[in-house]
Chain A
Amino acid sequence: MGSLAIARLAIIENLRRKEFYVVLVLVLGLAVWMAMLNMGSSGTGRFAKDVVMQVTWLASFALAIPLAVRQMASDLEHKTVYVLASRPISRWHYIAGRTLGAAFASVACFACMFLVLVLMMMFKGVTSVADPGLWQAFVLQITALFMVCSIAMLFSVVGTPGAAVTFSLLILAIMRYGGPSILALIAKMPPLARILSWVVYLTMPHLEFFNISQRVVHGWGPLPLSILGQVIVYGLGYSFVVTAVAAVIFRRRWL
């Protein structure tokens, strides 16, 4: 109950901040752009779908990382942590509540963006509400947001807010978009370095699993449900482990 109350606090805070409305303006701008687009050919439709997905994905990550980092930074800087930490909750509940709050607020923002733009795409005949790939992409992005928020929270516990945002963005960029290049790089390494790199690679958050935008854009069909389930379990499990590590580190921190 303590974690959920803290999560609710984070949601209220973030929905009352200006960033949320900046994102809404961005969405409205995209919706207007789509309304003006001539969807005569299938190529234009695919292009519009791709732009919508990439922009909503990037905007949601760009919103989630500072939002998650700010949770801890603001509490420590403004000493609001004392009011919550002096109550009968463990540091684990505190971190879990803050992470959940950041994740829920990010998901709310992302869902708003996504739904407005999907409605616009449906209106223009680019996609259909019955496209399962689209909803799979939606669910996977939500899971990825949980992962990103937990990673940003971990970095915010161990470092400064600036460093936490930078490292989170770096990991996101490398793992979401640079996965294949990393594998190629590892394959060229000498044996010992290759083994070590593999270990590091396996412990990194595999955000590329959650990016099925190409599948949706090109209409390659939905993921098999068993794979979708495994990816979701991986994402939530990873988030849980990272949050637990953050809680262990935070437990040792002097407030």
Chain B
Amino acid sequence: MRMDAAIEVRNLSVVYRTGRMKKKPAVKDLSFQVKKGEIVGFIGPNGAGKTSAIKAILDFIPLPRGTCIVDGISSSDPRSRQRLGYMPEVSFYPKYLTLEEFLHVCAAVSGLPARSRQKAVMSAAERVGMTEHLKSKLSTFSKGMLQQAGCAQALVHNPDILILDEPMSGLDPIARMRMRHLLADLRSEGKTILFSSHELGEIEMVADRILLLDKGRLIYQGPVAEAVDTGGNLEQAFLRLLGEELPWAA
């Protein structure tokens, strides 16, 4: 593994069993790297294999083929997640907890010592603009607020690497803007971010590089500017790379 790679995926294949003797490949021979300090947008149509690849990096699925290395450590080793924060796509969190209790649990499970947890919780809540909701139960949160709580839990142990699965989904324009600023702040702090999204406009604004997946294969990786340099925007480049007809061209 190259020393400047925060995440390295080599020849990863993920195959789901869909029934007796039936298998569905979700990711096929995927290889890529995310360098330290880089923001990489992970894009592709629904079912392209983005979430499966993320799950493999996080060791949510045992790897049948390939390797995932995070911060120089194989993803099957729990220590690979020491410096990693993850925000899941679906923001379901323990509803019976207040935001403060939830962040405390996350900090404790991440191995933060008890004396520094309160400060970490306050800092994470402040970063996502949720300080006034710390004492509220998660059951009273709207979808957008849960998304922000999800972001706070990913940041609570101050990780160097962040994997964000659809971080903008469900956010109102103000929260979206705040998230964009947060990503910019995290970039200036030298954090590495891999985030999947269908919001191509957001990716274009925030990401340094994109990884485009289709039907489990990586069909493009490179700087955002390079993908859109033939004119238009990332949305148009996305359709072109996928070989799709522009809807308005018909």
- List chain A positions with a Cβ less than 8 A from chain B: 1-2, 4-6, 8-9, 12-13, 16-17, 78-80, 82-90, 93, 251-252, 254-255
Contact = CB atoms under 8 A, between A and B. Distances in A.
Given A82-B60, A86-B81, A251-B62, A5 B90 contact: no
Interface stretch (B91-99, B197-205, B213-221, B229-237): B91-99
Interface in B159-182: none
B61 A255 contact: yes
Contacts of B62: 251-252, 254
Given A9-B105, A89-B109, A251-B62, A83 B97 contact: no
Nearest to B110: A87
Interface in B61-98: 61-62, 78-82, 84-86, 88, 90, 92-94, 96-97
B155 interface: no
A9 B55 contact: no
B59 to A, nearest CB: 8
A85 B75 CA distance: 12
Given A83-B86, A87-B110, 14 more contacts: A2-B108, A6-B109, A9-B94, A13-B94, A17-B96, A79-B92, A83-B153, A85-B59, A86-B85, A86-B86, A87-B81, A89-B78, A251-B62, A254-B62
Interface in B108-137: 108-111
Contacts of B153: 83
Contacts of B60: 82, 85-86, 254-255
7 contacts: A6-B105, A13-B94, A82-B58, A82-B60, A87-B109, A93-B78, A254-B61
B106 interface: yes
B101 interface: yes
A255 B55 contact: yes
Contacts of B96: 12-13, 16-17
Task: Give 6 nearest A-B pairs by CB, closest first.
Answer: A5-B108, A86-B86, A255-B60, A82-B88, A78-B92, A88-B82
B86 A82 contact: yes
B96 to A, nearest CB: 5
A88 B86 contact: no
Contacts of B78: 88-90, 93
Interface string B131-161: 0000000000000000000100100010000
A83 B104 CA distance: 13
A8 B111 contact: no
Contacts of B85: 86
Contacts of A86: 58, 60, 81, 84-86, 88
Contacts of B90: 79, 82
Contacts of A9: 94, 97, 105
Contacts of B88: 79, 82-83, 86
Contacts of A83: 86, 88, 93, 106, 150, 153
